[in-house]
Chains A and B, each alone.
Chain A
Amino acid sequence: MNITEPEKTIPNVHIRKAIETDLPAIMTFDERSNKDLNPHYWQEMFNRYGDDHDKQLFLVCENGAEIVGFIIGEVRDWEFGSSPCGWVFALGVRPDVRLGGVATQLYTVMCEFFSQAGVDKVRTMVARQNNDFHSFYRSEGMMAGPYIQLEKDL
């Protein structure tokens, strides 16, 4: 069984562009940085994606005064020979509000941004074992794309 699609609706959520003071809250629930809470990484992410850009977007979801989710994406041109498309490469929701539709709202706004930027495809990559994220993206209509990710130990 998986645990991804919304079962409840979190009231009073608001999606907006991230500001620098959101970063400490984001770091507390970003699964990728839980081990060492790397503030430099997040500062760099904010510098690169947090301001007004045509092709990058860093959004947060507020519930009242609290940050409960974030998403980061950008339009990438001709990567791996692909025509320009949107990439979602970071998404997180605070554990206590998961299954409340926060990720869906963030993802929807990100897809609208991609559409307005002139692309008609959105891509992401998930760890094979990360069933929650995999199921979430599938529930949003995403399917395996025409590329296969390969790697090798060096």
Chain B
Amino acid sequence: MKLQQSTILGLYAVLELAKAEGEQLSTADIAAKFDVSINHLAKVLRILVRAGHLQAARGAGGGYRFSGNIKRTTLMDVIELFEPVSIEGFENPDLPQATDVEAGLAIALIEISEMMQATLQSITLRTMLKMMQRDVANIP
């Protein structure tokens, strides 16, 4: 699975703002940190606001702050805003019109897809922040 650029920006933004614990960050702050396009990031941030994960503050000194629940929001919740989380293009192997080749491939790919979905649904932003802290602590 290759995540789209919007999805990656969405994950960057949500995690950066969740890590900031309510502190407000501007689009420019986040774009500079990850060296990404401000325009593209701005579109992504609007989607995250509409989904209720972020709050926008307008005007001078405006920006975004995380407004969701880091213990409840999962990686899947964020990714699904930007793209479907599944391996597309293969039919259900139980459908009668599937050829033997299609059915065999579908069984293998559905297994992969289900494991991917289960993993993404199980990792909350809080768990991600803990993982980030552990990784930083392990840097020699």
Per the CB 8 Å criterion, the residue count for chain A at the interface is 16
A145 to chain B: closest CB distance in Å? 13
Let me know if B122 and A135 touch, CB within 8 A: yes
Q: Chain B: interface secondary structure? A: helix
Contacts of A144 in B (CB 8 A): 119
Choose among B77, B114, B127, B134 the residue that contacts A139 (Cβ–Cβ < 8 A).
B127
Cα-based distance from A144 to B72 in the complex (angstroms)? 20
Let me know if A131 and B121 touch, CB within 8 A: yes
Name the interface residues of A114-148: CB closer than 8 Å to any CB of B.
128-129, 131, 134-135, 138-139, 141, 144
The reply to whether the CB of A2 lies closer than 8 angstroms to some CB of chain B is: yes
Contacts of B114 in A (CB 8 A): 128
Contacts of A4 in B (CB 8 A): 71, 124
Let me know if A5 and B118 touch, CB within 8 A: no
A3 to chain B: closest CB distance in Å? 7
Name the interface residues of B40-72: CB closer than 8 Å to any CB of A.
71-72
Let me know if A128 and B72 touch, CB within 8 A: no
A120 to chain B: closest CB distance in Å? 15
Cα-based distance from A113 to B83 in the complex (angstroms)? 43
Cα-based distance from A134 to B77 in the complex (angstroms)? 16
- Select the residue from B77, B114, B123 with max chain A CB neighbours within 10 A: B123
Cα-based distance from A17 to B122 in the complex (angstroms)? 30
Contacts of B124 in A (CB 8 A): 2, 4-5, 135, 138-139
Cα-based distance from A128 to B114 in the complex (angstroms)? 8
Contacts of A139 in B (CB 8 A): 124, 126-127, 130
Let me know if A138 and B118 touch, CB within 8 A: no
A143 to chain B: closest CB distance in Å? 8
The reply to whether the CB of B7 lies closer than 8 angstroms to some CB of chain A is: no
B135 to chain A: closest CB distance in Å? 12
Cα-based distance from A144 to B116 in the complex (angstroms)? 11
Cα-based distance from A128 to B127 in the complex (angstroms)? 18
Name the interface residues of A1-56: CB closer than 8 Å to any CB of B.
1-7
Cα-based distance from A52 to B46 in the complex (angstroms)? 58
Let me know if B122 and A138 touch, CB within 8 A: yes
Interface contacts beyond A5-B126, A139-B130: sample of 7 additional A-B pairs, CB < 8 Å, sorted by A = A1-B72, A5-B72, A7-B71, A134-B121, A135-B121, A135-B122, A138-B127
Task: Please name 19 pairs of A and B residues whose Cβ atoms are closer than 8 Å in the assembled complex, sorted by A.
Answer: A1-B73, A1-B74, A1-B77, A2-B121, A3-B72, A5-B71, A5-B72, A5-B126, A6-B71, A131-B122, A134-B122, A135-B74, A135-B121, A135-B122, A135-B124, A138-B123, A139-B126, A139-B127, A141-B130
Interface residues of B (CB under 8 A from A): 71-74, 77, 114-115, 118-119, 121-124, 126-127, 130-131, 134
Sorted nearest first, the 3 A-B pairs with minimum C-beta distance are A134-B122, A5-B71, A128-B118
